[in-house]
Chains A and B, each alone.
Chain A
């Protein structure tokens, strides 16, 4: 069966929910960040697939993907700065130990 839009949508849905699974089960901030990267990548794949198969006369999906990649890079850098700061003050990057952040 020749791969088309539905195959890529299946793949990106699978990646998205694998990321959600990781986000729900992991308790380490860095691994949670990795799950978020997986989710963002599945969204990018969706945008590219829709652009390729449904609207090849436009490049909107491609630009969305480019901007999402830029925002994801900024987000990862800020998140890792926060994680390292948290590690300095708490000596742990487990979310259970970061509870006093809310006070």
Chain B
């Protein structure tokens, strides 16, 4: 067992253990922190696979963006020090059964299947190669999905502002009625 193997097993154990803690803890803030460690572990696995760019994106977007967003929303919506209510035992047992059955089924399928590798020369996923492919307009290029994603991000940005906008109180009764009606429909 080489050092590289040991690092992989350590990272995999870290991911699974913290993911389990994240979905079972009753402190919501701790759940967010455990999720953070899981995401860092997955970024480590990307580094281990030598996909450095994806690992960097994972750290920047997930660890730096989404988890911080989640922590802020916890601060906005949760009383500090309050635990989540206890879950019903029958729901837990049912979920565990479903999950074990699904896991077993998937693993049986994976181990019965033989994957065929290609013999062609590998491309190293350097930032240069990724950038060229990302903006290529010929066949096999990703310029169109790139543009679609930018439209999607713009739509999400505007959507977030519209949804989370606090309605102004005490302006005019007419406007207040309109917003109330609007809220009812939405």
Contact = CB atoms under 8 A, between A and B. Distances in A.
Q: Do A and B bind each other?
A: yes
Interface of A: 1-3, 5-11, 13-15, 17-22, 24-28, 30-31, 33-35, 37-38, 41, 44-45, 48-49, 52-59, 62-63, 65-67, 69-78, 80-85, 87-89, 93
A71 B77 CA distance: 24
B62 A57 contact: no
Interface in B18-70: 19-20, 22-24, 28, 31-32, 35, 38-39, 42, 45-46, 49-51, 53-54, 57-58, 61-62, 65-66, 69-70
B133 A69 contact: no
Contact of B23 (A26, A27, A59): A26
Given A3-B5, A25-B92, A55-B118, A13 B107 contact: yes
Interface in B124-143: 125, 129-130, 133-134, 142
Contacts, number: 214
Interface residues of B, number: 83
Contact of A27 (B49, B87, B111): B87
Nearest to B148: A67
B159 A76 contact: no
Contacts of A48: 46, 49, 51, 54
A73 B66 contact: yes
A38 B22 contact: yes
B160 A34 contact: no
Interface in B99-133: 99-100, 102-103, 106-107, 110-111, 115-118, 120-123, 125, 129-130, 133
